[in-house]
Amino acid sequence: MNKGRFFIFILLMTTVLLATATLGLIVGQYPIQVEDLASVWSTQNSTAKLVILELRLPRIICAIFIGALLAVTGSCMQGIFRNPLVEPSFIGISAGAASAVVLFLVVLKPILIQYIPLNEFVIPCVAFVGSVVTVKIVINLASIQGRISIGALLLSGIAVNAFCGALMGICIYFADDAQLRSITFWNLGSLASISWREVYILTPIFIGGLLYLFLLRFKLDIASLGEDQAISLGVDMQSLTRRVVYSTCLIVGATVAFAGIIGFVGLLVPHITRFLVGANYKFLLIGSALIGSIVLLSSDIAARSFLDGAELPLGAITALLGAPFFIYQISKMRKEII
């Protein structure tokens, strides 16, 4: 894709994103008129102001941030592993974060709360630590003589995902009603608890994470040619893999901490973007960020609008979109092999 066409693509996607965000401000259980939106700072309707500024706007911003981050990390992971079926959750990042939180809620919190006051930052920190520990284990398992074997990394990811799933299953068995509700949130993802506080915390992660991965774009382009060719062109594949995996871990750990596990965005979006703008990482990363934001924002609007009076879990919506696509990819790969 040339720069002129890419500029048109960016313009088009930005327009779609802004239109979706505006729709997100209007659509919901509480009826908001376009006039309310236009005069939100001066409106006399304090409830409309509350809904727009305190409930929907932070949620929309977080959906944009998280969608972009998940899609960009997915693009990088697929490039580094040269596997179109990889996304951050495949190496246990999301499951590690979620299982750490579930373990904390069911086992540690009831004990700790008797001795020390726990504030609202504890759970995001636990999620983050869980994702880091899980990825460290996966990387150690996949490292053979100091080199990360991609096959071993994916297999380790499957094993760790299964272990985390089992851990959560055991915790669910012992959980009470309130804990079960929290576990559902962590397993299926939701933006219902997002406030401005989460926006402030996610902003530096969003900017820093995207910039850092964008700086790796040239190396990712070379890495996608294959490990041997990348090494012969002077790319330290071990270092690149570590940098991508750990930065993904930091980014996805932070998103899981605030929104729970939201699967398939990191799988679905890079494929759509690659189809639209090609495999050049300069275009792919920017395109993935924009399309990821649109996909997650649209899913969130659907999650909070489909049911009358209640919300669907966001992760369920993204899985509904992503799973058929995943099956399509597998069948496409089968046809290519045959």
Partner 1 sequence: MKLILFIFLAVQINTANIVTIGSCITQIVCELGRCNQIVATDKQSQSELEQPVTNIGYWRSINVETILQSDPTLILASESAGPPRSIQVFQSTSNPIVLIKKTENWDDLMSNISLIASKLNNSSRGNHLIETLSERLSKLNYKKYQDLRVLGVYSPMGQRIFANSKSSAASFVIEYIGATNLSEFNSPKIISKEIALELNPDALLMTERTAKWLENNKFESINLLLKKPNFRKIKVSDNALSEICIKTIDSLENLNYE
Binding site for partner 1 (CB under 8 A): 28-31, 46-47, 50-51, 54-55, 173-179, 181, 185, 192-195, 304, 308-311
What is the spatial distance between Cα 241 and Cα 223, in angstroms, rounded to a whole number? Answer: 9
Q: Do residues 269 and 87 touch, judged by C-beta distance below 8 A? A: no
Min separation Cβ 175 and partner 1, Å = 6
Min separation Cβ 24 and partner 1, Å = 12
Residue 232 tokens, joined: 């012969």
189 or 270: CB nearest partner 1: 189
Angle at 178 between CA 189 and CA 51, to 5 degrees: 55
194 or 223: CB nearest partner 1: 194
Min separation Cβ 28 and partner 1, Å = 5
59 or 243: CB nearest partner 1: 59
Residue 85 tokens, joined: 């079926």
Residue 109 tokens, joined: 């919190």
Q: Do residues 221 and 76 touch, judged by C-beta distance below 8 A? A: no
110 or 226: CB nearest partner 1: 110
Min separation Cβ 302 and partner 1, Å = 15
What is the spatial distance between Cα 258 and Cα 189, in angstroms, rounded to a whole number? Answer: 9
Residue 127 burial (CB count, 10 A): 28
CA 288, 293, 294, 295 dihedral sign is: positive
200 or 328: CB nearest partner 1: 200
Min separation Cβ 181 and partner 1, Å = 4
Min separation Cβ 324 and partner 1, Å = 27
174 or 275: CB nearest partner 1: 174
Q: How far is CA 206 from CA 31, 57, 252, 286, in A?
A: 31, 17, 11, 13
Residue 273 tokens, joined: 């973007």
